Amino acid sequence: MKTITLTIALLFSLTVFSQGYKGSYRINKNVQQNYRGSSHLSEVKIDAAKLAIGGILEASYEFIGNDASGYGVSVLLNPRENDVYFEKFSITPFYRMYFLNQQHYGAKGLFIEGFSKFSFGTDDDDYESYNHNNEYFDTALGLAIGKKWVNNNGFILEIFAGGGRTLGLSDVSPEVFFRGGLFIGKRF
């Protein structure tokens, strides 16, 4: 009888113990409340690689409505004449789906991004014209893949790469382009 009672008590305590910690992860209480509650999250990020290497400012805002997806917009500003990077200004709305998320709060880990891009720039490779500084406006559609890490305090490191194709609104815009970066930021 003692063995049966001890076994039942042990199983009951293991069940209670495992359910008591289900969904709890050692993080800051304010951040934990945001992840588990019905409130939505916001992220503000900046591309550290473009800023450090080329002096190009790209900032991004992402709204996270649930554990598996988010949407947002990136704005790129290239203030100087740069022969390497053709875009002067672009707005890039995006939608992300997150996969392989092992934590009890989401929107981090591996993601796939679908995006559109509205960009203004200069094409210096147009040799058919006497004016080698042709301005353009074009739109594009594309896909990217990446990974996002979020620490216990909500700081973000994100790396992604992808590409797309322009829709051909301008004759001097590039046909294909690269989208990517190394973003750092904060989740609120």
- pLDDT tens profile 94-106: 999 998 765 555 7
For residues 9 and 148, the answer to whether their CB atoms sit within 8 Å is: no
Q: Which amino acid is at 22?
A: K
Helix, strand, coil percent content, the chain, rounded in steps of 5: 20, 50, 30
Residue 86's pLDDT is 77
Q: How confident is the model at residue 11 (pLDDT cuts 50, 70, 90)?
A: very low
Domains and CATH numbers, the chain: 39-187 (2.40.160.20)
> Per-residue confidence at 40, pLDDT binned at 50, 70, 90?
confident
* Claim: this prediction has a pTM higher than 0.75: no
Q: Identify whether the C-beta of residue 175 lies closer than 8 Å to the C-beta of residue 164.
A: no
The count of residues in the chain is 188
Average pLDDT of span 86-97: 92
Tokens encoding 51: 């800023």
From residue 101, alpha-carbon distances to 111, 146, 149, 175 in Å are 10, 13, 11, 35
Q: Which pLDDT band, with edges at 50, 70 and 90, does 165 fall under?
A: very high
- Among candidate residues 50, 51, 32, 28, the one with its CA nearest the CA of residue 41: 32
Work out the average pLDDT over 114-121. 93
Nearest to 101 by CA among 144, 67, 63: 67
Residue 172 has pLDDT above 60, yes or no: yes
Mean of the per-residue pLDDT values of the chain:
77
